[in-house]
Copies of this chain bind each other. A is one copy, B any other.
Amino acid sequence: MVYRIHSDDPETVARDIAVEQTVETPLACVPERLLKDGTIGRVENITPVIDTENPSETAGFDATISFRCDITGFTVPQFLNLIFGNISLKNNIRIVGFDFPEAFLRRFPGPSYGIDGIRKSLRVMDRPLACTALKPLGLCVRELASMAGAFARGGIDVIKDDHGLGNQPTHPFEERVARCAEAVASGNAATGGRAMYCPMISGRFDEIERQIRSVLRVGLKGVLIAPMLVGFDTVRYISETYNLAIIAHPSLTGTFFSNKRHGMTPAVMLGTLFRLIGADLSVFPNAGGRFCFTQKECSDLAVALTGPLGPIKSSLPCPAGGMSLERIKELWEAYGNDMALLIGGSLMQHSPDLTASTRIFMEAVKGLRGPARRS
């Protein structure tokens, strides 16, 4: 683990992290053998950080601290607890990187499909994927299904529920999922397309499995899920248990990023962690939209999703949050072919004829040819 520390005494803070996150006990009360067997985290090194953009600002120190993997019990909850549980309640500590041993990574599922699997399933090999969303919440099931059908007839690749669509009286989960799946299937049949519909899974702890079974029963291949809303390990469980593509949504994760000196970077949380628990796509608020990530944060996030991570498959970066048809080329230049373009509101705004708007979106995406970076 690499922790960025802002302090005049980074050595003390780093040692404190190593103790707080493990034995959490005055060292005088820790039996001798635990001081020697690696139970306490080990501070490997501490290096000052040079901030090239603001050389006058204190850029902090990067402390690499290693922990024994078996302390996590190889479970997501205890892993989260080990890396940031108690120290989340301190300040000026930010996780900026990981370096996992392969033996640890082998215990986590990662994406079931990965970029290659998603591409094969959708038969889209040489361009970004095009995604959109069913919304707003409050529509009736018939309206949402009609919208889903229109997107499918326009040739879209992925249709996800808006993450606010749960099991509300206006659009009960089972009925919505069944009707939207039907509408997408008949849209696909009409055009020969393979649009994938991914409903939002945000049921109660004891409803999650039933929701997944409803999704499987109507033949869907993917779901949308927000790890912070239902629990990180719920996502790991679904990924490991069912052969479903998982689109991970960043809802409620924002406080991890809002304090630049404390928390985690977007690349760590929405990149590495989401990938580790099984995200095939990770939705994030792209720079220049309605939210506040910088382009550098977004690029680092894309690298965390697509770069090497032991045996774990790669995930598709899905820049979103106020993206428009006009920005497609710019996004492609930033992320390359291996991304999923998510355009929601802007597509609806383009014209009341959703099929026509979707066709324009698809033409723009299919026109992206040339020397784009291959992630």
Contact = CB atoms under 8 A, between A and B. Distances in A.
A371 interface: no
Contacts of A232: 231
A334 B22 CA distance: 30
Given A37-B138, A81-B164, A234 B251 contact: no
A291 B90 CA distance: 5
A34 B162 CA distance: 16
Interface stretch (A191-199, A214-222, A341-349, A358-366): A341-349
Given A89-B285, A252-B84, A234 B237 contact: no
- What is the total number of copies of this protein in its complex? 2
A82 B164 CA distance: 7
Interface stretch (A25-33, A116-124, A151-159, A298-306): A25-33
B291 A89 contact: yes
Interface of A: 20-26, 28-31, 34, 37, 39, 70-73, 75-78, 80-82, 84-91, 135-139, 143, 162-164, 166-170, 202-208, 226, 228-234, 236-237, 241, 250-259, 262-264, 285, 290-293, 321, 344-346, 348-349
| List of 10 A-B pairs having minimum Cβ-Cβ separation, nearest first | A231-B231, A88-B254, A23-B136, A85-B251, A39-B138, A89-B254, A77-B229, A205-B237, A259-B259, A78-B166
